[in-house]
Amino acid sequence: MKKITALLLALILLLGLGASAYGAEPTPQPPTEDRTGAAIAVPETVETIVTLAPSLTEMVTALGRGEQIVGCDTSSVGLEGLDPDIPAFDLAAPDMEQLAALEPDLLLVTNMSLYDQVSPFQQLIDLGVCVACVPNSDSIQGIEEDIAFVAAVLNEREAGQAVIDRMRQGVERIAAIGRTIEDKKTVYFEISAAPYMYSCGTGVYLNEMIELIGAENILAGEEGWLGVEAETVVAADPDVILTNVNYIDDPVGEILSRAGWDGVTAVAEKQVYYIDNMASSLPNQNIVTALEQMAQAVYPEHFAP
């Protein structure tokens, strides 16, 4: 009996030593693939970053690494947390020599920079730059995964989770009210003005956002981002029209004055509202700002500012 007890004590001691030796959490390793599945080699320390999309620039600054951005795309110029004097590049056709001269540790791009091209950044990869692509996500879940990926690349997982948590809380705050709305209004969200009207159907985050506030997208029977005929909108007769068009002086006034639209409920009742372009068009944590604006525009009686 004493021998059995001794053996048991020895086994417990051995297991205890093993737990103390191996029980610590392993150091998280950086991703070995980007969001397209392409192999990447993330440097041990990322000190200099170039972002070629405003959605990614805002992610990096939200993670507290904006000061390390040494180059950006032209649409990112002026964003909060970014040095206004850094060089700016055309995201679709950046100057490769100028990019190489910056010697960034990390270059973050979206699929917009890879459009209809084969390995456009191979020159930089050959120079040792880690080039990671984060395609524009079409879902809120995808946006969360993008944030987590960028955070992992920058070894900022804790900060990344905090950004995701704040985003989730903001979305759920709106969604909780949206679920209580029974008399749903119909919405048309315009992202390109006449004569080349553009909007979205199901399968994109803007449609998710319309549904989260308790409304219905008039184009929910379609899929993805799509061109729209004026007759389609007039026939659908939306209760509310939202627009994030920012390249004309008065997008709301332009919609209200369109020929043949005076019988549309949203136009007749002047229920046409502008939604912040950056917040609604960039797939990152700031969609919560657009979601709040959409909710307050469509259901002001339910969503107090």
Measured CA to CA in angstroms, residue 260 lies from 229, 232, 254 at distances of 13, 12, 12
What pLDDT does 116 receive? 58
Confidence band, pLDDT 50/70/90 cuts, at residue 5: very low
CA atoms 279, 281, 284, 288: torsion sign: positive
Count of other CB atoms within 10 angstroms of residue 123: 13
In a domain, 254, yes or no: yes
Give CA–CA dist 291/199, Å, rounded: 16
Query: End-to-end distance of the chain based on CA atoms, in angstroms?
Result: 74
Domain boundary among 117, 137, 155: 155
In a domain, 36, yes or no: no
Domain boundary among 155, 170, 201: 155
Considering 22-36, 107-121, 136-150, the range whose residues carry the highest mean pLDDT is: 136-150
In a domain, 3, yes or no: no
Token couple for 242: 């939202």
Q: Are residues 150 and 187 in the same domain?
A: no
What digits encode the pLDDT tens for the residues 11-63? 444 444 444 445 556 778 899 999 999 999 999 999 999 999 999 999 999 99
Residue 165: pLDDT over 70: yes
Measured CA to CA in angstroms, residue 10 lies from 13, 17, 19, 33, 178 at distances of 5, 11, 14, 44, 60
Q: Are residues 218 and 263 in the same domain?
A: yes
Task: For residue 86, give the nearest of 97, 77, 75 by alpha carbon.
Answer: 77
Q: Which domain holds residue 95?
A: 49-155
What digits encode the pLDDT tens for the residues 181-203? 999 999 999 999 999 999 999 99
Q: Are residues 194 and 145 in the same domain?
A: no
- Between 7-21, 86-100, 173-187, the lowest mean confidence (pLDDT) is in 7-21
What pLDDT does 163 receive? 98
In a domain, 101, yes or no: yes
Token couple for 24: 């610590």
Residue 236: pLDDT over 60: yes
- Find how far residue 241's CA is from the centre of its chain: 23
Token couple for 271: 């229920």
In a domain, 38, yes or no: no
Q: How many CA atoms lie within 13 A of 213 on its CB side?
A: 30
Domain boundary among 155, 170, 197: 155
E strands in 57-112: 69-73, 88-89, 106-109
What pLDDT does 2 receive? 43
Q: Which helix (H) or strand (E) holds 144?
A: helix 140-153
Q: Are residues 189 and 281 in the same domain?
A: yes
Q: Are residues 149 and 248 in the same domain?
A: no
In a domain, 168, yes or no: no
Look at the chain and report how many structural domains it folds into: 2
Kindly report the CATH number assigned to the domain that includes residue 267. Answer: 3.40.50.1980
Task: For residue 120, give the nearest of 148, 151, 146, 89 by alpha carbon.
Answer: 89
Q: Which helix (H) or strand (E) holds 109?
A: strand 106-109
Residue 111: pLDDT over 70: yes
E strands in 173-265: 186-190, 198-200, 216-217, 225-227, 240-243
In a domain, 102, yes or no: yes
Mean pLDDT of the chain: 91
Provide the 3-class DSSP secondary structure of residue 25: coil
Q: Are residues 224 and 140 in the same domain?
A: no
Task: Give 235's contacts (C-beta < 8 A, 6+ positions apart).
Answer: none
In a domain, 25, yes or no: no
Contact call for residues 258 and 197 (beta carbons, < 8 A): no
Q: Are residues 97 and 59 in the same domain?
A: yes
Q: Are residues 115 and 66 in the same domain?
A: yes
What pLDDT does 20 receive? 40
Contact call for residues 75 and 92 (beta carbons, < 8 A): no
Q: What is the mean predicted confidence (pLDDT) over 271-280?
A: 98
Tokens 């119909």 belong to residue: 186
